[in-house]
Structure formats: C-alpha cells, structure tokens
Amino acid sequence: QQKVQQSPESLTVSEGAMASLNCTFSDRSSDNFRWYRQHSGKGLEVLVSIFSDGEKEEGSFTAHLNRASLHVFLHIREPQPSDSALYLCAVGCNYNVGDNSKLIWGLGTSLVVNP
C-alpha cells in the first residue's frame, strides 16, 4: 500500500528566501507526481507535475524527483506572502485516466511566508 508523507508539517520563511518542501513515497513503481496548493478555504491549485527523474520548473516552482531515494521535492523561489498556503503532494502509479484512486495524497505542509 503506497504511503505518501510530507515534511515538514509546517514551515515559516521570510519573503524572498527559498522554501523547500519534501514528499516521501513508498512505492518505487510510482510514475506520476504532482504538487498542489490550497489557500485556506479555497480549492486546489495545480503547481507542477513531474513524470521522470530530474527537475521540472513551472514559474517560481521547481519539482525535483529522485525515485531511487523515494523523494520528490518542491522548491519555491523567492516566495511572497501570497504563497502562504497548504502544499499537497500527490503520487500515482500505473495511472488510469478514469480511476484517480491510485493518486495517493500527503497531508500537506503548511507554508507561511512573512513579509
């Protein structure tokens, strides 16, 4: 059974300082990984999806996948106070276009960016 864990549980950074979030998964055959964020009381916003080892950049967000070490990181370059939100990692395996039950979600990292 796939397990997805995120760390740290909460993170406070100053505006402009790099923020790094970690997501650990347990199934080495996982083949799709994505980062989302959720502002308080709002829906989820997709940030970046990655499907192979290495890095994928979308704006100020960079996902770094290392399947051998079972980690996928999210780096946020020069975060702003508006980036304060809950960041969620989702990991999938043998993706089926209909059945997203194979997407396993972490509990999230709560990021606070201070001005």
- Which position among 13, 75, 95, 112 is part of the footprint of another protein (CB under 8 A)? 95
Q: Considering the rule CB under 8 A, would residue 21 count as an interface residue with another protein?
A: no
Q: Measured between alpha carbons, how far is 106 from 115 in angstroms, rounded to an integer?
A: 27
For residue 100, count other CB atoms closer than 10 A to its CB: 10
Q: Considering the rule CB under 8 A, would residue 34 count as an interface residue with another protein?
A: yes
Q: Measured between alpha carbons, how far is 97 from 22 in angstroms, rounded to an integer?
A: 26
User: 10-14 and 109-114 as β-strands: parallel, antiparallel, unpaired?
Assistant: parallel
Q: Considering the rule CB under 8 A, would residue 91 count as an interface residue with another protein?
A: no
Q: Considering the rule CB under 8 A, would residue 107 count as an interface residue with another protein?
A: yes
Q: Which residues bind another protein (CB under 8 A)?
A: 32, 34, 36, 41-46, 49, 88, 90, 92, 95, 97-101, 103, 105-107
